[in-house]
């Protein structure tokens, strides 16, 4: 399971070595200014359509790059529990969905990430 932490002005998503090999993707180091949203989603709600790169064991787990109705998404999750979904701009993946280790609350982490995103100023 990935380890997701806020380190200074970056969101760090550390992918396990096995998942790196299966998903053909290393860890993510995303500036918080590139994060636009963080929320919790069920695995089925990700609506993965096509595996572009990586491994898909269906309900038992998916690691890699997929197409979805919302566009390109990197997934490291299985169907055991909800996923943390990070939406970005200016990054290779507009969406990243990861399942956190047991005992970590994806809802609490999503709120923490949203509170850490720099304010872009008033919207007119």
Q: Output 47-50 pairs: Cβ under 8 A, ≥24 positions apart.
A: 48/73, 48/75
The pairing of strands 71-77 and 95-98 is parallel
pLDDT, the chain, mean: 81
In eight-state DSSP terms, residue 102 is T
Query: Backbone dihedral region of 54: left (phi > 0), alpha (psi from -120 to 50 degrees) or beta?
Result: left
Each domain of the chain, given as residue ranges in start order, spans 3-116
List the structure tokens of 21.
């090999």
User: What pLDDT is recorded for position 51?
Assistant: 59
φ, ψ dihedrals at 92, nearest 5°: -60, -40
From the centroid of its chain, how far is CA 95?
6
Give the pLDDT confidence of 24-33 residue by residue, as tens digits: 566 889 999 9
Cα–Cα distance measured from residue 29 to residue 51, given in angstroms and rounded to the nearest whole number: 23
Give the pLDDT confidence of 35-52 residue by residue, as tens digits: 999 999 988 888 777 656
Report yes or no: 112 and 104 within 8 Å, Cβ to Cβ. no
């Amino acid at each position: 399971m990935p380890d997701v932490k806020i380190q200074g002005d970056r969101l760090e998503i550390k992918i396990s070595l096995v998942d790196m090999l299966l998903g053909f993707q290393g860890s993510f180091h995303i500036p918080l200014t590139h994060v636009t949203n963080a929320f919790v989603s069920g695995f089925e709600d990700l609506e993965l359509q096509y595996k572009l790169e990586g491994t898909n064991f269906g309900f038992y787990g998916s690691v890699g790059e997929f197409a979805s109705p919302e566009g390109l998404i990197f997934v490291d999750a299985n169907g055991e529990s909800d996923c943390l979904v990070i939406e970005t701009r200016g990054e290779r993946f507009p969406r990243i969905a990861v399942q956190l280790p047991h005992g970590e609350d994806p809802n609490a982490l999503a709120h923490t990430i949203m509170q850490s995103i720099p304010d872009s100023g008033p919207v007119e």
